[in-house]
Amino acid sequence: MAEGISRRDGKDLVLPAFELDCRDWLVVGPAEAGLPEDVAGAPLLAVLSTVVIEDDIREASGALTVGVLEAGDELEMRPVAPGSAAYEFANVYAAPGTKRFVMPAPGERGLALLAEFVICDDDYELEQRVVRLMSSFRWQTD
């Protein structure tokens, strides 16, 4: 999942990549999902969805946005996995069934990729699928 997005200065911003086999996930742009191009002023990059079909259909969906981590922000975060570039927000107000993650961009600018997932019915299998996806996150370097 890596593609270039043109910035105002004419340079391309390369999106990060997930190393996990994403066949379990559907990834679409905001327009394809029927959503606005931004959420509360943050660009919406992609919408991710996954389902588990057993005796019922259970789903999880997420949104990737770009944010800025301010110097001095004291956000409690824990690594998703040892050596992972992704962190899960801890003790951040979120609706039940919501998990929030941040992947700080390399460098000093404070940019970060933010991911928020809604998992129906506190489903362990879907939660683990989200954790595996976030654990597989790597910044793409040229």
Local confidence band at 72 (pLDDT 50, 70, 90 cut-offs): low
pLDDT at position 74 is 73
Per-residue pLDDT reduced to its tens digit, 20-66: 666 788 888 788 877 878 777 778 888 888 988 888 888 999 999 88
For the whole model, what pTM was predicted? 0.78
Strand-pair partners of 78: 88
- What residues does each domain of the chain span? 22-133
* 3: three-class secondary structure by DSSP: coil
Per-residue pLDDT reduced to its tens digit, 114-141: 999 998 777 888 999 999 999 988 887 6
Q: What does the alpha-carbon distance between residue 44 and residue 59 come to, in Å, rounded to a whole number?
A: 20
